[in-house]
Amino acid sequence: MSLIELTLIAIALSMDAFAIAICIGLNVKANALSTTVKTGLYFGLSQAIMPIIGYYTISFFVYYMKALSILTFYIKAFDHWLALGILLFLGGKMLYDHYQNHDCTIMNNTISFKTMLPLSITTSIDALAVGISLAFLQIDIIFPALLIGCITFFLSVLGVNIGLFCGIKFRSIAQIAGGIILIVLGFKILFEHLMGN
């Protein structure tokens, strides 16, 4: 998988965090710099950690299945279909969520651990699933995870500032773009595998 493809995946995965960061920015009344940095760190770290968890969880099971000589052939036969399915699901979910009425007023004016931990975990579940698909595709996870975390940090910081200065209209654009990117990349993985056979 190329750097451009990994970057597009990272951008797509960060769109939920970006959208919530805009909501946070809309509700910030004080300590804007502190809020911006904390938001970036919460979302960036969770998005970097979750794909690693997904990757090594699957790798652990696959390793023992290989040791038992059971699943290796079958994984090769459907790994691209699994990657497609995961990316289609995640992209479709982002597009579906776009049409739901998520109210930014649920955000309070402070960035507390109790508020941000559930939000950061929720927005990084997609990254967990991508880590699983990268494990099936046998792509080393460390660089993609770091890239996902860094891009999410940057876009979260950007999102808070957009919320502070520009308003809510960019939130919907972020969700639509993220969903489309994931769906297109899923079909690209399938196409490349089928053309390679």
Per residue in 76-101, pLDDT tens? 566 667 777 777 876 787 677 767 65
Question: In 14-141, which residue ranges form alpha helices assigned H by DSSP?
Answer: 15-27, 32-67, 72-98, 113-123, 125-136
Half-sphere exposure (Cβ direction) of 84: Cα atoms closer than 13 Å: 12
Per residue in 172-194, pLDDT tens? 676 677 678 778 777 877 777 67
**Is the pLDDT assigned to residue 68 strictly greater than 50?**
no
**Is the pLDDT assigned to residue 111 strictly greater than 60?**
yes
Q: Which domain holds residue 169?
A: 3-196
Total tally of structural domains belonging to the chain: 1
Single out the residue of 24, 9, 158 nearest to residue 83, CA to CA: 9
Per residue in 112-136, pLDDT tens? 787 788 878 878 888 888 898 888 7
Q: What is the pLDDT of residue 142?
A: 94
Q: What is the pLDDT of residue 71?
A: 53
Q: How confident is the model at residue 24 (pLDDT cuts 50, 70, 90)?
A: confident
> pTM for the complete prediction?
0.72
Is the Cβ–Cβ distance between 124 and 48 less than 8 Å? Answer: no
